[in-house]
Each structure stands twice: as C-alpha cells, then as structure tokens.
Amino acid sequence: MIHGKFTNSLRLWTIIATALFSVFSSAYTQVPWPEKMQNLKVLPESTTTDELRTTMFGFSNALGVNCVYCHVAENRRDFATYDFVSDSNKNKISARTMMRMVAEINEKQLTKLAGHSTSALSVDCVTCHRGKQKPTTLEAEMMPTIDADGVTAAIEKYRALRAQDYGRGRYDFGVNSLNQLGYRLLTNGQLNDAIAIFKLNVEMNPDAANPYDSLAEAYMKSERKWLAFINYSKSLELNPRNSNAEKMLNELKGALNND
Ligand code: HEC
Ligand code: HEC
C-alpha cells in the first residue's frame, strides 16, 4: 500500500522543509492551510496540517517554483483565490506520479540492496531536481548548444549558469564535469570544441593538475606539440606524481628536438 509506505519519505521531506520554513514563511503567511485535506491521493490520510505545509514547502524548494506551479489560482499573488483541492493543473498530477516513484524507489528498490541501511539517505525530490523544474546537468545543457550554436555560445551559457547558480547545487561546477564534457566531445571527433572546453576548465580551475593534462592530450591529437608540452609541464608541476605527463613530456622532448 502506497499510503503506509509513504510515511518515511514524508518524514524526510518534513525534516528538509523545516529548515526552509523560515525562508518561505514570510511570503506564505496568508496561505489558508486546511485543517482537513480533501483530495489526498498519495499522502496518507493521517497527514497533519504541519506535515502538509512542510511537504509543500519542500516541493517548492526542490523544484525552485511557487505554489502556482502545481496549483490553480485566479490571482497567483492572492492565496484566497487558490483552489488547492483542484486537480486541473497538470503539474500536480505529475507531482503525484513523482511521489509514487520516490516511494517505490525508497520502499521497494533500495530495500533490496544487500548493503541497505535504514539510516542511509532516502531519495527525495531535491536529490534529482536540485532547484530546477526538470532535472538537468551541465552536459545536458551544453551539448545541444555546442551542436546548434557552437562552442563559444555554450561557453557563454556556462558562464551565465555559473554566475547565477554557483553554490546552489543546481549544477556540478567541479573539475570533473567539464572534463567529462571535453572527453565526450573528443570521442565524437569534435576536437576544436573539446579544446575550447578543456581550456575553459583550466581557466576555471587553474590550480588543478588534471585539466592541463586533458588539454595537453587534446593538443597532442591536433598535432600542436608545443602547446601539449606546455600543458603537460604545468600538469606535472601541479602534480609531481602525474606519471602520464612525465612519460608524454619525455616523448615530446625527443620529438620537439628533432623538429
Ligand atoms: C510540485 C508540485 C507542488 C507544489 C510546488 C506545491 N504543491 Fe501543494 N500539492 C501538490 C500535490 C501533488 C498535492 C496532493 C497530494 C496527494 O494527492 O496526496 C498537493 C496538495 C496540497 C494541499 C491539500 C489540498 C487538499 O485539501 O487536498 C494544499 C493545501 C497545498 N497542496 C498547498 C500548497 C501550497 C500553499 C504550496 C506552495 C507553498 C504548494 N501546495 C506547492 C503538489 C504541489
Ligand atoms: C530520480 C530522479 C527524480 C526524483 C527523485 C524526482 N523527480 Fe521529478 N522529474 C525527474 C525527471 C527526470 C523529470 C523530467 C521527466 C520528463 O520530462 O520526461 C521530472 C519531472 C517532474 C515534474 C514535471 C516537470 C515538467 O515541467 O513537466 C514534476 C512536477 C516533478 N518532477 C516533481 C517532482 C516531485 C514533487 C518530486 C518528489 C516527490 C520529484 N519530482 C522527484 C526526476 C526526478
């Protein structure tokens, strides 16, 4: 039964949402929270007003949306005009599908793992959504832009996302995600695009050894040996245990001397 099994996830949402309560509460003081809910199809019937409130704040925060994203209102700024009972907003229906999916993952699938522990973190809306209406990744945002508008446009998009979302957990701005995107482009044979992305990674992470190593590898593939040499040197300087860079530098020394 979904109802009974949903309680654990509900508890988790409650914990997460409580932390956000103070942020949301000032804007949402006029919400006419019902004493008794009329149209719960996934949450247990026993859900209290406090639990409902923290769950709804949790949903709003996880997706980075306001109540009107899932509920209908005549005037989105006036909570008296909301019809929270109504099911005519398609996003409310999608949210129910998601709630059932999350319950299925937590209660039926994760529990099958040999190493399953009841203290493990449960999957929650924010696990995937991270403040976005639809979950996405840097790669998913940038790949289509590279293909449609070119790598320069994609780099601009990266800078805009970074300026807007850094530190909010919406995207992984760490070293590895741009590195992975660069290798995806290399694999596709998009050599110049890969070089542009690896250069961006070096710019964003000037103290990390690996981005220089990847950039050097792409320069090798494009026969720009001096640039490869410079970047392998930088990588080795930052990480003296980078044996790949050491090996490549020895090969390059021979090749460059003969040029
Ligand atoms: C991502 C979608 C989503 C967001 C955002 C959302 N809700 Fe909901 N809300 C739902 C769903 C789905 C239900 C029904 C749950 C069920 O069927 O068990 C619901 C139910 C409710 C109910 C109970 C209605 C009843 O009597 O049956 C109220 C009240 C409510 N929401 C208020 C809010 C408020 C206020 C906000 C903004 C702070 C909000 N919701 C944000 C999806 C959402
Ligand atoms: C395992 C990852 C995952 C989790 C957990 C998850 N979602 Fe989603 N959600 C997605 C993906 C992926 C999509 C987009 C699917 C598509 O468009 O085909 C999506 C789409 C949605 C949409 C529709 C968005 C649109 O614009 O059409 C809503 C609403 C939504 N999720 C709400 C929730 C809520 C509420 C929760 C928590 C109860 C939740 N999701 C948990 C992955 C997840």
Confidence (pLDDT) at 160:
96
The answer on 37 and 55 residing in a single domain is yes
Q: In terms of pTM, does the model score above 0.75?
A: yes
The answer on 124 and 59 residing in a single domain is yes
The answer on 159 and 211 residing in a single domain is yes
When mean pLDDT is compared across 62-66, 164-168, 239-243, the lowest value belongs to 164-168
Which of 129, 151, 168 is a domain's end point? 129
pLDDT band at 1 (very low <50, low <70, confident <90, very high): very low
Burial environment of residue 118 by CB neighbours within 10 A (0 to 12, 13 to 18, 19 or more): exposed
Which of 129, 148, 171 is a domain's end point? 129
pLDDT score of 26 more than 60: no
Q: What is the dihedral of CA 244, 254, 192, 239, to 10 degrees?
A: 30
Determine contact, residues 232/249, Cβ cutoff 8 Å.
Answer: yes
pLDDT band at 255 (very low <50, low <70, confident <90, very high): confident
> Rounded to the nearest whole angstrom, what is the distance from the C-alpha of residue 166 to the centroid of ligand 2?
22
Mean pLDDT of the region 209-238: 97
Mean pLDDT of the region 162-173: 89
Confidence (pLDDT) at 3:
47
Mean pLDDT of the region 90-116: 95
pLDDT score of 51 more than 90: yes
- Angle, helix 191-204 to helix 151-165, in steps of 10 degrees: 30
Residue 175 sits in a domain whose CATH number is 1.25.40.10
Pocket test for ligand 2, best of 41, 128, 170 (most atoms within 8 A of CB): 128
Pocket test for ligand 1, best of 3, 84, 132 (most atoms within 8 A of CB): 84
Confidence (pLDDT) at 16:
55
Report which DSSP code applies to 69. Answer: G
Which of 95, 129, 163 is a domain's end point? 129
pLDDT score of 178 more than 80: yes
Share of the chain above pLDDT 90, in %: 79
The answer on 83 and 155 residing in a single domain is no
The answer on 111 and 27 residing in a single domain is yes
> Rounded to the nearest whole angstrom, what is the distance from the C-alpha of residue 30 to the centroid of ligand 1?
15
Q: What is the mean pLDDT of the chain?
A: 90
The boundaries of the domain holding residue 143 are: 138-258
The total domain count for the chain is 2
Confidence (pLDDT) at 4:
45
Confidence (pLDDT) at 11:
59
Pocket of ligand 2, beta carbon within 6 A: 59, 63, 91, 94-95, 98-99, 102, 123, 125, 127-129, 133-135
Confidence (pLDDT) at 12:
56
Q: Which of 111-115, 195-199, 253-257 has the highest mean pLDDT?
A: 195-199
The answer on 160 and 80 residing in a single domain is no
The answer on 167 and 104 residing in a single domain is no
Collapse the DSSP code of 72 into the 3-class scheme (helix H, G, I; strand E, B; otherwise coil) and give the result.
strand
Asked whether the CA dihedral 205, 171, 219, 210 is positive or negative, the reply is positive
Confidence (pLDDT) at 13:
56
